[in-house]
Amino acid sequence: DAGITQSPRHKVTETGTPVTLRCHQTENHRYMYWYRQDPGHGLRLIHYSYGVKDTDKGEVSDGYSVSRSKTEDFLLTLESATSSQTSVYFCAISEGQGDYNEQFFGPGTRLTVL
């Protein structure tokens, strides 16, 4: 199994508070991704990174920011959490993109915004 951890695994917070989720990998993979998963929806890409300090927006990036200061860490920040951001958040990594470069997923963080 790919070495990916996420912290915290569960979090309950209140509307308007900032929240940071951490993804840590030990695989030295170049690409890292943040997804959210909601009932009735497929996984939706929030942001991704293709190297240290290199990030780009995904499909549902509004209200989220990311940072990657080291190869192994990718942080997702909700600047001011809203109830619509209640979700399960998955981090994923891949060595490259395209042919046969599957993504490996972390265990997920369940976030509840009250």
Partner 1 sequence: GQNIDQPTEMTATEGAIVQINCTYQTSGFNGLFWYQQHAGEAPTFLSYNVLDGLEEKGRFSSFLSRSKGYSYLLLKELQMKDSASYLCASMDSNYQLIWGAGTKLIIKP
Asked whether position 40 contacts partner 1 by CB under 8 A, the answer is: yes
| Residues 90, 92: Cα–Cα separation, whole Å | 6
Helix (H, G, I), strand (E, B) or coil at 20: strand
Applying CB under 8 A, the span of 13-21, 22-30, 36-44, 73-81 interacting with partner 1 comes to 36-44
Restricted to residues 43-82, the positions that interact with partner 1 (CB under 8 A) are 43-45, 48, 58
Among 10, 53, 62, 99, binds partner 1 (CB under 8 A): 99
Cβ contacts of residue 16 below 8 Å, gap of 6+? 80, 81
Q: Which residues pair with 20 in a beta bridge?
A: 77
Q: Which residues bind partner 1 (CB under 8 A)?
A: 40-45, 48, 58, 90, 97-100, 102-108
